[in-house]
Structures are given as structure tokens and as C-alpha cells.
Amino acid sequence: MRAVVVHAKGDLRVEERPTPTPADDQALIRVAFGGVCGSDLHYWTHGAAGESLLVDPMVLGHEVVGTVEQAAADGSGPAVGALVAVHPATPKPVEGVRYPEDSPNLAPGTTYLGSAARRPHTEGAFAELVALPTRMLRVLPEGLSLRDAALAEPAAVAWHAVSKAGDVAGKRALVIGTGPIGALVIAVLKRAGAAEIVAVDMHDVPLGIARKVGATATVKATEADEIAAVQADVVVESSGSPRGLMSAIRGATRGGRVVMVGLQPSGEQPALMSLAITRELELVGSFRFNDEIDEVLTAFADGSLDVEGVVTHEFGIDDTQAAFQTALDSSTSGKVLLRL
């Protein structure tokens, strides 16, 4: 079978890999679609994603949906032919490191598909066939297609971020950065009843996507005074840049909440802390998700979460290089899908 493998910085290949042999608690999944994520791009362009350094060749990909080709031998999980989305995390505690029991996304030893955080690396799922534990599989609601479910994983990230904002019904929201995660945050905010949603980005294409999914107004990221004038009750920072975080703090109203879902560069970063203090802002981190993927799939199926327009490009596995190049240019693309 073919798989998308990153060997080192700048070295991305589609290569033959042996068809996996599932363990008793694993099902064999024929992958239909995979979404190219920022972490996939970072491994390709930098040989690292945040603190996770690529040391060995690794199959990329964690945003995948597919069909059960072979059911688990132990009888757990879905039957052959079931359409499934994948929850890519395996939460693991570490002795002596504390975290809330109801937040498995914060378990310090957690592994994630397509991650070089540990060695051996955790292989990803950009492959024609993957063997996955049945606990990772979520059967799609009846009537929901694999193509329409392809955004389930990043939408769950957005859903988790909005949940960190609290009750947004009737409130004014500001979203900094309207790449795929930011656009999905806007869609979730709209579903949750936000009265106004102001979207900020550098480029026209992502701002256009933001309007499609629910933004009531858009502002260019260079318009600092206009952003500061928003005075949003809730701000979601999804650009992952220090300047974006500065804009988020400036755009929040006094007593507001800033949810930080965009991963900032590692190390010390500048921030407008004096302004956050004098406005009594709440700065809240948001990392991955827990079981929100289940709610996302239900919302996709019943039509209450409208993400039409977030996916802008699809490529076959033979055009993986073009897919990654396209995803790298945020000025011309939203979410890019691979057909595997």
C-alpha cells in the first residue's frame, strides 16, 4: 500500500509500505480522506512541529475518515463496511504529573497519530490502509458521507475552543486568524448563538471563507485600530502568532475572555500583559479536544454545523506534493484534503 512519509525537513515522499496486520483490538481501515494540518506542514518544512523533532521517517496525518475493511478480531468496534471518523489521541498519564481526570487531552504522556513527540514516533494515517484501535473509531451517523465528515477532527478542536469561551449566545465574538481552525471556530460560534462574529486575517481568501461560515464582519489584520474597536466579549486567537495574540488582547472588551487555540512558537513570546491585567481579561488555553468529535459528527449530520466552503482543494495521493504546497499558501487555500 502507499503512504505519505516525511523523512526529514523538505523530504516528503509517497512510498510503498507493507499492509499493516491489525492487533486483536484493531480494525483495518481503508482511508478515504485526510486533511492536511499545520503540524503536517511543519514536519515537512521545518522537520519539527513545536517541540516535537522529527528524528526518523514517519507517516503523516491525523485528520482521517474511512471504511472498515477488516473488523477487530476481539469483536470490539464497528463491523466491516462501517464508515468511521478517527479520534487520533491515546491519552496516557505519567507518574507524578498531575492533570484533571476529566481532561484526558491534558494527559502528559498522550500520543497522537502522526506525531514525533516521542521516539519511536507515532505513525500517522495518511495511508491507503491503517490498523487502528477500535476505541479511536467513531461510526458516522446515518446519512453522513465520508467527504462531509472529513472535517470532524479539526472541527472538534474548534468545538473544544468555543467551549472554553463559555456561553457565547447573544455575545460579540472576535476570531483572530481564519485559516481552517479559525473558520471552523466561526462556524461553531454561529451554531452556539453568537450575535456578532468579527473575523480577522491577513488575506482575502480566508476572510471570504469566514463570511461563508458565519462571520458578520471582517477586518484585515493590519487594521490595528479597527480590531481594538471591536471590544469583543469573547476572542478566539487561532493564528498562533505573537502579533495575533496582541490583536486578541487589544480587541477584547474589559472583563472579556481570550481563548488561545493557535499554538504560539516555543519559547518566550511578547504579550500585552499590562493591558490584560488592567482590563481583567481571562486568558484561557485550548489544546486539542476530548470527546467533542462525537458532538461534531451529530451536528454535521443534522445540519446544525455548516462548514460549507472550508475545504477549498482536494488532491489524490499521487499529487501529495501539490497538496502540501497548496496548503502552505494560506492566502489562496482553506482546508486541503488528500484522497487516499
Bridge pairing between strands 232-237 and 172-176: parallel
Alpha-carbon gap, residue 305 to 269, rounded angstroms = 34
> What is the structure's pLDDT at 335?
98
Nearest to 291, CA basis, from 70, 135, 178, 148: 135
The reported pLDDT for the residue numbered 205 is 97
Whole-number Å distance between alpha carbons of 278 and 198? 23
Q: Which domains does the chain have, with CATH numbers?
A: 2-151+310-339 (3.90.180.10), 155-285 (3.40.50.720)
Q: At what angle do helices 152-164 and 292-302 cross, to 10 degrees?
A: 110
Cβ proximity of 173 and 143 under 8 Å: no
pLDDT at 51: 83
Question: Do residues 194 and 175 touch, judged by C-beta distance below 8 A?
Answer: no
66, 31 Cβ separation under 8 angstroms? yes
- Supply φ then ψ for residue 185, to 5 degrees: -60, -45
Distance CA 235, CA 83 (A): 35
Q: How many residues does the chain have?
A: 340
Cα dihedral value 322, 324, 329, 333, nearest 10: 80
How is residue 177 written as a grid cell? 486568524
Q: pLDDT 10s per residue in the chain (340 long)? A: 999 999 999 999 999 999 999 999 999 999 999 999 999 999 999 999 988 999 999 999 999 999 999 999 999 999 999 999 999 999 999 999 999 999 999 999 999 999 999 999 999 999 999 999 999 999 999 999 999 999 999 999 999 999 999 999 999 999 999 999 999 999 999 999 999 999 999 999 999 999 999 999 999 999 999 999 999 999 999 999 999 999 999 999 999 999 999 998 888 999 999 999 999 999 999 999 999 999 999 999 999 999 999 999 999 999 999 999 999 999 999 999 999 9
pLDDT of residue 227: 98
pLDDT at 231 (0 to 100): 98
Structure confidence at residue 267 (pLDDT):
86
Query: Can you give the C-alpha Rg of the chain in angstroms?
Result: 20
The pLDDT assigned to 116 comes to 96
Helix boundaries (H) for the chain: 38-46, 146-149, 152-164, 180-191, 204-213, 224-228, 242-251, 273-278, 292-302, 320-328
- Distance CA(184)–CA(186), nearest Å, equals 5
CA 8 to chain centre: 23
Q: Provide the whole-model pTM.
A: 0.97
* Inter-helix orientation angle 320-328/38-46, to 10°: 100
pLDDT score, position 50: 82
Give residue 266's pLDDT: 82
